[in-house]
């Protein structure tokens, strides 16, 4: 199947910016998503971007998409301890509704 | 609006037994999905319902898994008989019909097979 790759772990200091990266292989990916999972909870949709967009900003979150390199990133400005969680990158193509997930990046925010 | 709810939150059964997981989607969402995450692996798609019909069941691992959505409301996922490799977290999601409607996930059912 198609692959979605993420680094597994990221540690930042409170107040710094966090950048979580994701690469994917499916050239027909149309929609790309970022989900957040806090301990013991489900997947919370953070934001999503269409493949015809380069950037999307929503408060402290900025998503950048480089479609040529099939690279997606999530930047969290002024990272807080409450942002500590697992962040999943996911993609879907026009051909179906199924989401294809990466393994998730564990973000640890230290005081 | 109420979110996607899943029951039970945690199930521990012995190998060979049967377990049924339930998912109640967000009201008005015709699309319902099942995913699972096996320890250390990615979250994998299992199947997709549109109302009561199976739209895509390409991710179902084998015939020990049976999903239903009678009446197009809640869905059940039955595993019979359960095997050790079925352990993991089973997520349900739902979405409206239409372009780029995001999927909203439940908290998942953690299934442990002993």
The closest CB to that of A45, out of B41, B44, B102, belongs to: B102
What residue ranges of chain B have pLDDT lower than 50? none
Q: For residue A45, give both structure tokens.
A: 């949709």
- Tell me the mean pLDDT per 10 residues along chain A, length 111: 85 97 86 92 91 91 93 96 95 79 95 91
User: In degrees rounded to 5, what are phi and psi of residue B23?
Assistant: -135, 130
- Mean residue pLDDT of chain B comes to 93
Handedness of CA A52, A85, B42, B102 (dihedral sign): negative
Interface contact B91-A42, CB threshold 8 A: yes
Q: Is A88 exposed, middle or buried (0-12, 13-18, 19+ CB in 10 A)?
A: buried
The closest CB to that of A103, out of B42, B45, B107, belongs to: B42
Q: For residue A97, what pLDDT is reported?
A: 82
In whole angstroms, what separates CA A102 from the centre of its chain? 9
Between CA A22 and CA A54 the distance in angstroms is 15
For chain A, say whether B41 makes contact (Cβ under 8 Å).
Answer: yes
Q: For residue B74, what pLDDT is reported?
A: 97
For residue B108, which of B95, B93, B94, B90 has the smallest C-alpha distance? B90
Q: For residue B65, give both structure tokens.
A: 């898994």
Q: For residue A105, what pLDDT is reported?
A: 96
Tokens 């699309």 label which residue?
B31
Q: For residue A95, what pLDDT is reported?
A: 56
Q: For residue B110, what pLDDT is reported?
A: 95
For chain A, say whether B102 makes contact (Cβ under 8 Å).
Answer: yes
Q: For residue B22, what pLDDT is reported?
A: 98
Between CA B48 and CA B108 the distance in angstroms is 16
Q: For residue B40, what pLDDT is reported?
A: 77
B43 CB neighbours in chain A (<8 A) are: 43, 88, 90, 99, 101, 104
């Amino acid at each position: 199947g198609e692959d979605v790759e993420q680094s597994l772990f990221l540690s930042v200091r409170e107040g710094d910016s966090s950048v979580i990266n994701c690469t994917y292989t499916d050239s027909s990916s149309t929609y790309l998503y970022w989900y957040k999972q806090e301990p013991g909870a489900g997947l919370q949709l953070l934001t999503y971007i269409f493949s015809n967009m380069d950037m999307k900003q929503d408060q402290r979150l900025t998503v950048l998409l480089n479609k040529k390199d099939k690279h997606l990133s999530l930047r969290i400005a002024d990272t807080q301890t409450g942002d500590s969680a697992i962040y999943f990158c996911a993609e879907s193509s026009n051909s179906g509704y199924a989401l294809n997930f990466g393994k998730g990046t564990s973000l640890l925010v230290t005081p | 609006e109420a979110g996607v709810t899943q029951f039970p939150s945690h199930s521990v059964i012995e190998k060979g037994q049967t377990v049924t997981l339930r998912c109640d989607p967000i009201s008005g969402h015709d699309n319902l999905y099942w995913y699972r995450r096996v320890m250390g692996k990615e979250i994998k798609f299992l199947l997709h319902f549109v109302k009561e019909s199976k739209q895509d069941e390409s991710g179902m691992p084998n015939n020990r898994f049976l999903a239903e959505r009678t009446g197009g409301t809640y869905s059940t996922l039955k595993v019979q008989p359960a095997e050790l490799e079925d352990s993991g977290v089973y997520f349900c999601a739902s979405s409206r019909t239409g372009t780029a409607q995001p999927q909203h996930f439940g908290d998942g059912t953690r299934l442990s097979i002993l």
